[in-house]
Amino acid sequence: MSENKVNVGGQAVIEGVMMRSPERVAVAVRRSDGKIVLKNNPYISFTKRSKFWNLPIIRGAVVLIESMVLGVKALTFSGDIAADEDIEKKKEKKGWKNLWLGLTVLFSFAVGLLLFFYIPLILTDLLGAKTGFMFNLVDGIIRVIIFLAYLGLITLWKEIRRVFQYHGAEHKSIFTYEDNKDLTIENANSYKPYHPRCGTSFIIMVLLVSIIVFMFLGRPETIADRLIRLAFVPLIGGISYELIKLSDKRKNNPLVKAFIAPGLWMQKITAREPDESMLEVAIVALKGSLGEDFSNDPNVIKME
């Protein structure tokens, strides 16, 4: 990436894409009438507000939490637009929306802990792994298997496959921007939909790093031992974040290519080839996150 470029990341949502730059968060969603609704708001990460929150490892945990909260907000907004919910009614229900948002974040966190933390521990116990090394190795392998099974199941859902296509559109538009090319559908179409800085790659990194970190904790014998592992989740997220950042800077190095390969393989499931209408939405979201004004574009409806 050229020196004058800012880092931009994103997330696919329902019939759209969220893009996040250092100063803004933009969500673009395709409405049923074909127009694109753009919500574009200023946002400064906590890592930019304080030197402490930007310390290595700590910033990874902060970004993880911020991404989850912003992602749920973007999904809620996109669901409303895709369902053609009246904008005024949406504003009237803002208080309930905020409550629902908080409950959704808590529920998602709880389900994540159940699927990828508690159930693997139970299954590993049942398999009779005795030593700390074997217990944590088996526990980690089970987490990876559960994640793969989860992806396989949700891919059967047609709407999720469309979200995965928008995920591919997000990656293609970001590649175009990073290569200093004009943000056009034609330019974006020339790229593959797999990006080394993807959230899927991050999750795979978290799963692998967790195996190594938990090795140092030995075999959990009590409930307290298991709860202590929860305290290491932010550390695991922070280490994974730093590794993803490093791999993105050194992505042409042969060793780094091998290191990030599992995450790129997984993106063959989560980042699909988009159509041109999806690329158009991703480009609007990316331009919006960079502060572009769409006031004179009749195909884009701006929202506060």
Q: What is the mean pLDDT of residues 187-199?
A: 89
d(CA 286, CA 166): 13
Q: How confident is the model at residue 196 (pLDDT cuts 50, 70, 90)?
A: confident
**% the chain with pLDDT above 70:** 90
Domain membership flag for residue 132: yes
Chain-wide mean pLDDT for the chain?
85
DSSP 8-state assignment for residue 6: P
Residue 22's DSSP bridge partners are: none
Q: Does 83 score more than 60 pLDDT?
A: yes
Q: Does 96 score more than 80 pLDDT?
A: no
- Which structure tokens are listed for 42? 């200023």
**% the chain with pLDDT above 90:** 35
Q: Does 241 score more than 50 pLDDT?
A: yes
| pLDDT for position 113 | 78
Q: How confident is the model at residue 105 (pLDDT cuts 50, 70, 90)?
A: low
CA atoms within 13 A on the CB side of 149: 8
CB atoms within 10 A of CB 142: 18
Domain membership flag for residue 1: no
Count Cβ atoms within 10 A of the Cβ of residue 198 and give its class: 0-12 exposed, 13-18 middle, 19 or more buried: buried
Q: What is the mean pLDDT of residues 55-68?
A: 87
Q: What is the mean pLDDT of residues 100-125?
A: 78
Phi, psi of 216 (to 5 degrees): -75, -15
DSSP 8-state assignment for residue 52: G
Q: Are 245 and 178 in contact (CB under 8 A)?
A: no
Against a cut of 0.85, is the pTM above it? no
Lowest mean pLDDT among 5-14, 70-79, 83-92, 278-287: 83-92
| pLDDT for position 86 | 53
What is the maximum alpha-carbon separation in the chain? Answer: 66
Q: Does 167 score more than 80 pLDDT?
A: yes
Q: How confident is the model at residue 118 (pLDDT cuts 50, 70, 90)?
A: confident
Count Cβ atoms within 10 A of the Cβ of residue 14 and give its class: 0-12 exposed, 13-18 middle, 19 or more buried: buried
144-166 pLDDT per residue, tens: 999 889 888 888 888 899 999 99
Residue 38's DSSP bridge partners are: 28, 302
- Which structure tokens are listed for 280? 């158009």
| pLDDT for position 1 | 44
| pLDDT for position 99 | 64
Domain membership flag for residue 58: yes
Domain membership flag for residue 163: yes
| pLDDT for position 163 | 93
CB atoms within 10 A of CB 229: 18
> Residue 190 belongs to what H/E stretch?
none
Q: How confident is the model at residue 94 (pLDDT cuts 50, 70, 90)?
A: low
Q: What is the mean pLDDT of residues 114-134?
A: 87
Q: What is the mean pLDDT of residues 14-32?
A: 93
Q: How confident is the model at residue 100 (pLDDT cuts 50, 70, 90)?
A: low
Distance of CA 140 to the CA centre of its chain: 21
Segments of the chain assigned E as strands: 9-13, 16-20, 24-30, 36-42, 300-303
Domain membership flag for residue 3: no
Structure-model confidence comparison of residues 200 and 1, the more confident one: 200
| pLDDT for position 2 | 45
Domain membership flag for residue 166: yes
Count of structural domains, the chain: 1
Domain that includes residue 166, residue range: 9-303
Count Cβ atoms within 10 A of the Cβ of residue 136 and give its class: 0-12 exposed, 13-18 middle, 19 or more buried: buried
